[in-house]
Amino acid sequence: METAEHSSAYQALVRFINANGKERDYGVCIAPSLDVLYDWERDEAEDLIWKRFSFGGDTGLADLVVTLRNHNGIEALEDKLREGMSSSEYSLRLVNIARVLYSATSVDDYLEYIFEYYEKTRDRAAVAVLSYLKPCDKLYDFFTDLYLSSDDSVIRNTAVTGILCGKGYIKDPTDPKECSELTNMARAFISDDPELRKKKLERFKNGEFDSIPRSYGLYRRLTAEEAIREANKPKEPEEPDETVSGIIDATQSGVYIVFYEEENLYIPSILSEEMSRKPNVGDKVRLLKKQKGQSLILRIES
């Protein structure tokens, strides 16, 4: 029971335990680590978490269950996962348990449930969950298979993040700033053509994408004070758009990826209204390379 004697961390934890799924998902209530509690508070908190999970079935507490000292959280989570699998349950609640077990133990057998869930449901959420996990060979193989075989461009883009994590280009997939720096390299993977994707993957494995420049400054976290200062600063003149020539490298979902050799960039582009016919992969085109927004293909040069 929460009293005035309890620390603010304990009170925050109780609010998280009592919160509904949306409040947890949207960060209205955030669970502090059990390690910041006083020992006597921790014992109370662990009992509360254990009861809610074991008897109330609150699998949203799985990340806390795995850190319990007075109860075997790993075994309890394994039991929940085993029960669900034995009854052929395929659900995001079990995906969450499998995620927590893998994160806590690095045992890649737990990933199999998430793979199976995706195969049954084709739920993009499962692929997103996997893309945030610690890389391993099994995950890398899963993402390369997805990249090569999926007809869903959103899934393929997420798979590329997993591939870049698997080879160490991205260290922390939860960091938007770090991921944004690999935007140019990620664009080099884009294609609707399965055969072209095979070639691109081989080029990546051979190190041919390593020279693609990083995209610095696309994402930066600001405090409220910094945001106010930025808004009040005199605006610097923007670099003008420029007209350049490039080669159509690939297409995806109606967008053309133009390779601009001078800067080793892959530029997402759309056709201008003046275009009389659509270019093909391999065509040389004249491009209005915009500093903001999608670039425009003006004409086919050859």
Model confidence over 125-148: pLDDT tens digits? 999 999 999 999 999 999 999 999
pLDDT at 240: 78
Structure confidence at residue 221 (pLDDT): 59
Domain assignment of residue 161, yes or no: no
- Residue 230 domain-assigned? no
The 10 Å CB-count burial string (b at 16+, else e) for 220-246 is: eeeeeeeeeeeeeeeeeeeeeeeebeb
Q: What is the pLDDT of residue 236?
A: 60
Q: Model-level pTM?
A: 0.86
d(CA 161, CA 173): 8
Under the banding of pLDDT at 50, 70 and 90, the label for residue 2 is: low
Asked, for residue 270, whether it belongs to a domain, the answer is yes
pLDDT band at 239 (very low <50, low <70, confident <90, very high): low
CA distances from 185 to 12, 128, 181, 272 (A): 41, 19, 9, 25
Q: What is the pLDDT of residue 219?
A: 52
User: Is residue 290 in a domain?
Assistant: yes
Report the CATH number at residue 275: 2.40.50.140
Q: Which domain holds residue 244?
A: 238-302
Per-residue b or e along 280-292, where b marks 16 or more CB atoms closer than 10 Å to that residue's CB: eeebebbbebeee
pLDDT of residue 4: 53
Is the pLDDT at 17 greater than 70? The verdict is: yes
Domain-located, residue 82: no
Residue 35 has pLDDT above 80, yes or no: yes
Residue 40 has φ and ψ, to the nearest 5°, of -70, -30
How many Cα atoms within 13 Å fall on the side-chain side of residue 133? 30
Q: What is the mean pLDDT of the chain?
A: 90
> Mean per-residue pLDDT for 15-24?
87
Pairing of strands 284-289, 295-300: antiparallel
Residue 56 lies in a domain: no
pLDDT of residue 220: 55
Residues in the chain: 302
Q: What residues contact residue 71 under an 8 Å CB cut-off, 6+ apart? A: 46, 50, 65
- For residue 8, what is the enclosing H or E element? helix 8-18
CA distance linking residue 108 with residue 9, whole number of Å: 33
Q: Per the structure, how many domains does the chain have?
A: 1
pLDDT band of residue 160 (cuts 50, 70, 90) is: very high
- Backbone torsion region of residue 282, taken as left when φ is above 0, otherwise alpha when ψ lies between -120 and 50, otherwise beta: left
Block residue for tokens 């391993």: 136
